[in-house]
Amino acid sequence: VFIDEFDSLLSPSAKKIKLTIEGLRQRNQPVVFGYEPIRTDGGLELKLENMSSGATQVVLLQFEEPLDSKLEITVKFKDAATGKKRTLTQTVDAGSPSGEKGDFCKNLAIAMVAQGVFDAAKRNEDGEALNSEALNKAQKKDLKKVIRSAKELFPQFENDVDFVRVERIAKQFVDN
């Protein structure tokens, strides 16, 4: 069993994955955590990493205003086993989030902290390796605020190994 599971992690099952989201209004373009989207007329496109069997990728969008429309989500990829191109499409009511609220809050909290570290690295003007000394006081304050906001969003953070791991990474840059 372990060998089969290990092999499935090493062998991609989906390649050249592209996620398309249609139905966005120009005035309500979301923040996309962890990805660099390509903006299109009424939507956006994201290139995702190749995936192995059992793997997941989470794409979180944050909107300034509530949505009152339906979004069409399309995933296109190449099936690694058959070589055939596949397309999966789903229409979702953007005004009614689905799924477990706890999972959503956890994923959003993790994405917020990871994005905070990414933004701090991007703003690091010296181009040197990102570390605690490289960040100025304002950047450290911003990152601490993001960590605090994430903890408010996901109060069970202390018992969650995924959140604690991301928080530890972020704290390396704000604690002296």
53-85 residue pLDDT tens: 767 778 888 777 777 778 899 999 999 889 999
pLDDT digits (tens, 9 = 90+) for 77-134: 999 889 999 999 998 876 655 555 667 788 888 888 888 888 777 766 555 555 556 6
Torsion 123-28-71-94 (CA) sign: positive
Alpha-carbon 20 to chain mean position: 15
Indicate whether this model's pTM tops 0.85.
no
* Whole-number Å distance between alpha carbons of 83 and 76: 13
Pairing assessment for the beta strands 85-93 and 12-22 based on DSSP bridges: unpaired
* Whole-number Å distance between alpha carbons of 25 and 33: 19
Mind giving me the DSSP string for 122-149?
A: HH-TT-PPP-TTTS-HHHHHHHHHHHHH
User: CA 43 → CA 40, 162, 168, 171, distances in Å?
Assistant: 5, 30, 35, 35
